[in-house]
Structures are given as C-alpha cells and as structure tokens.
Amino acid sequence: MRYVFNPHPVTSLPIAGTDARFPVRRIFCVGRNYAEHAREMGAADQAEGREPPFFFTKPADALVGGDGELAVAYPSLTANLHHEVEMVVALCDGGENLAVEDVQRLVFGYAVGLDLTRRDIQSRAKEKSHPWDMSKGFDQSAVAGVIAPAAQCGHPATGRIWLNVNGQLRQQGDLADMMWKVPDIIANLSTMVRLEAGDLIYSGTPAGVGPLLRGDVLVAGVEGVGGLCARIV
C-alpha cells in the first residue's frame, strides 16, 4: 500500500524482562476513582458511591513512556499543570459487554503512570459546560513506566501507590481504596466501546493532586508493580 506520507510510528512501552514492546492502541482514564480525590475535586456524590465510573481518553501519541528518567514537556496555555499518579492496566485482548468474572484474562500487565492535567483549562471548560478534552488530551499528557507482566506480578488489588515531587511526598493511597476495582472498570468500559489488545486504562488517582513547575522531578511507585521517574522540562 502506498501512503501520501509515511505513517506515524507506533507508540509503545517497554516490558520488564524482555526486549519486546507493548504497542499502544488507545488510552482510557477513569475519573475520580478514589473517594478522597473525588472529595477534593468537589464530587461528594461520587465519593459516596452514588455514581457509576466515568471515562475520558487521551491520544495514544500523547504517551511518554520508558525506563530511566523521562523528560516531559511543560504544556502550552496553562499556568496550573497538575500531577495524578495512577496504576495503568495494559490489555492483551478485547471484547465488548464483558462480564466482570471474564475480564482478568484480558490483562497483560500493569505499569505506574501519570495523568497530567491543565487544571485551569479544565476548570474554565467546566464553568462553561464545554468539553474538557484539551485539559486532558494534550501532547505528553500521559506518562508511563515499564509494564510488569501479570504473569510476574499477578493482579494487584492492594498495595501502596505514591508520588514524590522533588523528594516531598505529594500523593499516597492504597489500591484497595479504588471505588471501582480493575475488573469492574474493564467490564464497565466494555459496555461503552469495544476494547482491544493494546489498550491502556489509567485506573484513577488518590488524593493530593497538585501543581508542577518546570524542573520538578517526580518519582512514583505502585507496590508490586514498579516505579516511574520523570522531570518536567
């Protein structure tokens, strides 16, 4: 097949223990999946479990991933860039309208991730009831480390999740605090879109989100999964 220009490279993440890479198809994110974070964002009803999960997306090529210290560009048009540490779920199979008890087979592995948000742009969009895609889906708005295969790390449902910025603890929680657990997230999302191999799901962030500046160094981890280091440039 002949294209009018060369196709863009496939976005991918490294996999622990192998030189093979995980090709990324789509990036889905769960909003306010930890009660304390929902409260800090003013969503008391969701914090009390009255609402189903909701999702937003980021383009696959918004991803910055790998091992070592990752360089992440401070985005344009914002003066309030926020960090959100998350456990990322990487799928190796797909389907639609899946039952909760059937979805674990879809999970290839897990990684530590950062969902970056232009909070000022998001706030203005919310005030006007506008979509807030540009507050979440901008270039380099998704960061992820090395994928730990589930065959090695299992399927973590408990364990510390944390983020330090410049050596100071900013976010800390436990995977057990997620209101919607990973199987519930996958099953619910599969009722909205057909999932496929290569999809990433950012599973939500604990409380403590806050602003970042150029030069900040972020070190994050999820117990049993791995770590992540990034510098804002």
pLDDT in tens, 119-163: 999 999 999 999 999 999 999 999 999 999 999 999 999 999 999
pLDDT of residue 216: 98
pLDDT of residue 38: 61
pLDDT < 50: residue spans in the chain: none
pTM of the prediction?
Answer: 0.96
pLDDT of residue 67: 94
pLDDT of residue 43: 66
Residues 198, 25: Cα–Cα separation, whole Å: 5
pLDDT of residue 32: 84
pLDDT of residue 34: 82
Count of CA atoms in the C-beta half-sphere (13 A) of 33: 26
**Average pLDDT across the chain, whole number:** 95
CA dihedral sign of residues 205, 149, 55, 51: negative
